[in-house]
Chains A and B, each alone.
Chain A
Amino acid sequence: MFTKLQQWLSAIFLYASFWLSSFYDKLPLTLSDPWKEIIFASPIYFLITFACFSLATIGYRVAIFNDCTEASEELKKEIIEAKKDLEKKGLKIS
């Protein structure tokens, strides 16, 4: 069983070693220049994609965040009812 931290570290390590070995031409493949450029810039691509994705997701979720106005109204009524009933039952709050 791996912890989440270990999972993240191994993923980052894998990616970093892949990126570094392509950077120093140590990969056992012959890559054309455009491919190398893509790999070289890939961290930035990832970052930008992730940033856009995050912003969109968070923005959307903030927008659909439920405002429980009805529930709040209902609760207010119940609170009044509760206070009356508790007083009847003899609750003394000085």
Chain B
Amino acid sequence: MAKDKYSILLPTYNERENLPLIIWLIVKYMDESDIDFEVIVIDDGSPDGTLDVAKELQKIYGESKVVLRPREKKLGLGTAYIHGMKHAKGNYILIMDADLSHHPKFIPEFIAKQKSKNYDVVSGTRYEGDGGVYGWDLKRKIISRGANFLAQILLRPGASDLTGSFRSCLRRVQTGRQRDCFSTPRGFSLCSLQRDLY
């Protein structure tokens, strides 16, 4: 059986400071665990020159590790994922934020979890276990918990974190069904969950 390959999608908008750091961290933890991967940077024409930094990083890490799939202008996070996915060469897709909200050290854990029961989707959460947030004041925590509480009751999705960390998720590449899941920009996570879990 061929070795699994993981395509990590990194949508960026004005992340020139963070992009080198997140890619450095990804490389560090993936190499440590000997995982085959590629990072796909989807930059939406950031005015701060994120793309130039990405090109520099490509020189350092090689074109097979850092793949650039820029778009002309800001078209939103949801379509950025679809765009990146079209170019993914891996048999697994991993999506995460480029702003260091999601730490790459958890990627090997995601992969182990996925393999343990051959899951279709694995997602991170801020609300349970070791998950959490940093630098949030009380108001933001209340809003987050309140919104999550409502969503849980109204939708009963069977996943604890829909809005945020579902963006840090690992899924097997499937044909057909997958593409049309990712149709709405922000509602994307809800929509893909619905299709996968029910």
Whether the pair A65, B133 counts as a contact (CB closer than 8 A) is: yes
- B127 on the interface (CB 8 Å rule)? yes
A53 to B157, CA, bound (A): 20
B16 proximity list for chain A (CB < 8 A): 93
**CB-contact partner of A1 in B56, B155, B198, under 8 A:** B198
In this complex, how many residues of chain B approach chain A with their Cβ under 8 Å: the count is 33
Complex interface residues of chain A between 39 and 94 (CB less than 8 A to chain B): 54, 57-58, 61-62, 65-69, 71-72, 75, 78-79, 82-83, 85-86, 89-93
Residue A4 at the chain B interface, CB threshold 8 Å: yes
Interface majority SS on A: helix, strand, loop or mixed?
helix
Given contacts A65-B132, A65-B141, A67-B133, contact A58 B146 (CB under 8 A): yes
Shortest C-beta distance, A12 to chain B (Å), equals: 12
Is the Cβ of B134 less than 8 Å from the Cβ of A93? no
A8 beta carbon closer than 8 Å to chain B? yes
With a cutoff of 8 Å between Cβ atoms, the chain B residues found around residue A92 in the complex are 56
A85 & B24 in contact (Cβ 8 Å cutoff): yes
Q: Which B131-182 residues have a C-beta within 8 angstroms of A? A: 131-136, 138, 141-142, 144-146, 149, 154-156
Partner of A86, one of B24, B100, B131, B198: B24
Asked if B25 is at the interface (CB within 8 A of a chain A CB), the reply is yes
Bound complex: CA A20 to CA B103 (Å): 54
Chain A positions 24 through 47: 1 when the CB is less than 8 Å from some CB of chain B, otherwise 0: 000000000000000000000000
| A residues near B25, Cβ cutoff 8 Å | 78, 82
Q: Nearest Cβ distance between residue A55 and chain B, in whole angstroms?
A: 10
Are A82 and B154 interface neighbours, CB within 8 A?
no
Q: Which residues of B contact A66 (CB under 8 A)?
A: 126, 130-133
A62 with B141: CB separation less than 8 A: yes
Please give the residue numbers on chain B whose beta carbons come within 8 Å of chain A beta carbons, in ascending order: 16, 20-21, 24-25, 28, 53, 56-57, 59-60, 100, 103, 126-127, 130-136, 138, 141-142, 144-146, 149, 154-156, 198
Can you give 28 contacting A-B residue pairs, CB < 8 Å?
Answer: A4-B155, A4-B156, A8-B154, A57-B149, A61-B145, A62-B141, A62-B142, A65-B127, A65-B133, A65-B145, A66-B126, A66-B130, A66-B132, A66-B133, A67-B133, A68-B132, A68-B133, A75-B103, A82-B20, A82-B21, A82-B28, A86-B24, A86-B60, A90-B59, A90-B60, A91-B53, A91-B57, A91-B60
Residue numbers of A with Cβ under 8 A of B are 1, 4, 8, 54, 57-58, 61-62, 65-69, 71-72, 75, 78-79, 82-83, 85-86, 89-93
